[in-house]
Amino acid sequence: MSRLGDAAARLDRPGGRTVLGVLASLWLTTKLRRPTLVRWREGAWIYRCRGATLPHPSIGAAVHPDEARDVLLYGYTPQPGDVVLDVGAGIGDTTLLFSELVGPTGRVVVRARRPDDVVRELGLEGIDLVKMNIEGAERVALRGLEETLPRIRHLCISCHDFVADRGGPDELRTQAFVVEFLAAHGFELTTRDEGADWVQSYVYGTRRP
C-alpha cells in the first residue's frame, strides 16, 4: 500500500474520519478542478459533486460521481418522470443518482424480488431504464425479466467477465450470454472498448424502434 493509502487507512476510523473527509475533499477538488465534498455519515462515505450524491462504504474504493455518470448513463440518461429498475442497488449509491434524475414525478424501484413480479405488482406499464449489477447472476435475472422485456426501453448491465479474467470463477463470464439474449429480444446493443476492464464489461441496450 502507498503512503497515501496507509495514511487513509489509519484515519478511516472513529476520531479520524473528519480529518480524512477534509483531506479527501481538498484532494478531489484540486484533481477534478471543481468543488467536491467528501464526508462520513451514517456508516458510509458521502461524495457530493456537480449535483450528484453517492455513498460508498470505503473511501478508497468509491466510484466518483462523474465516473458513475459516465458509466451508468452512457447509453441513456433518465429524465424527469421516468421509471427506473435498479437491480442490484448495493447500499443505494446508484439509487440516489437515479432519484435525482427522475425527480418527484419519477420512480426508482429497488425491491429485492423477481423483476417480473415487482413490475406486475406495482402495475408498471413501461420501464425507461433497467440498471443491473448483480455480480454474475445476470442469466437468472434476465430470464426473470422475460415478461417485462417488451416494456423496457433501455438497459445498463454490469457483467463481471473482468473478474474471471483476473483469476475469478469462470461462471462470472456472462457478457456473451447477455449480448445474445438481449439481441434476441429486440435490443440494439453497445459495449465499450475504452476505459478500465470493468467498464468494458458493461452492456448497454436500447429497444429497436
pLDDT at residue 90, as a whole number: 63
Query: 184-197, pLDDT tens digit by residue?
Result: 999 999 999 988 88
pLDDT at residue 51, as a whole number: 64
The helix-helix angle for 3-11 and 17-32 (nearest 10°) equals: 140
pLDDT at residue 184, as a whole number: 94
The helix-helix angle for 65-72 and 93-102 (nearest 10°) equals: 70
| Backbone region of residue 135 per phi and psi (left: phi > 0; alpha: psi in -120 to 50; beta: other values) | left
Q: List the grid coordinates of 34.
A: 471543481
Has this prediction a pTM greater than 0.75?
A: no
3-state secondary structure of 128: coil
Pick the residue with more confidence: 140 or 182? 182
Over residues 169-179, mean pLDDT: 92
- Give percent helix, percent strand, percent coil of the chain, each to the nearest 5: 40, 20, 40
Over residues 12-36, mean pLDDT: 83
Over residues 108-136, mean pLDDT: 83
Q: Are the CB atoms for 102 and 84 separated by under 8 Å?
A: yes
Contacts of 117 (CB under 8 A, 6+ apart): none
Note the helical H segments in 33-153.
65-72, 93-102, 115-122, 138-143
Low-confidence winner among 22-26, 61-65, 123-127, 160-164 (lowest mean pLDDT): 61-65
Percent of the chain with pLDDT over 90: 24
Pick the residue with more confidence: 43 or 22? 22
Q: Position 147: which residue type? A: E
**Mean pLDDT, all residues of the chain:** 83
pLDDT at residue 135, as a whole number: 80
Over residues 88-103, mean pLDDT: 77
Question: What distance in Å separates the CA atoms of residue 136 and residue 160, rounded to the nearest whole number?
Answer: 6
pLDDT at 1 over 50: no
Count of helices and strands (H, E) across the chain: 9, 9
Q: Are the CB atoms for 91 and 44 separated by under 8 Å?
A: yes
